[in-house]
A = this chain, B = another copy of it.
Amino acid sequence: MNTKNKILQVALALYNQEGIRSVTTRHIAATMGISAGNLHYHFKHTEDIILALFEQLTAAYDKIVQNLSEHPVLNLAELEAYIDSSFYLIEQYRFIFINFVELGTWIPSIRESYQKLVSKREQEFSRLFTNLVNANVLRPDIAPTLLNSLVRQLFLISDFWISSNELTAQLRGEEALLVYRQDILSIFTPYLRQRQKPL
Contacts and interface: CB of A to CB of B under 8 A. Distances in A.
Interface of A: 19-21, 98-102, 104-106, 111, 114-115, 118, 141-143, 145-146, 149-150, 152-153, 155-157, 159-161, 163-164, 166-168, 179, 182-183, 186-187, 189-191, 198-199
* Main SS class of interface, A: helix
30 contacts: A19-B101, A19-B105, A21-B102, A21-B105, A98-B101, A99-B99, A99-B101, A100-B163, A101-B163, A104-B167, A111-B167, A114-B168, A118-B167, A141-B199, A143-B199, A145-B182, A146-B189, A149-B182, A152-B164, A152-B183, A153-B153, A153-B157, A153-B186, A153-B187, A155-B164, A156-B157, A156-B164, A157-B157, A160-B163, A163-B163
Contact of A161 (B118, B156, B179, B198): B156
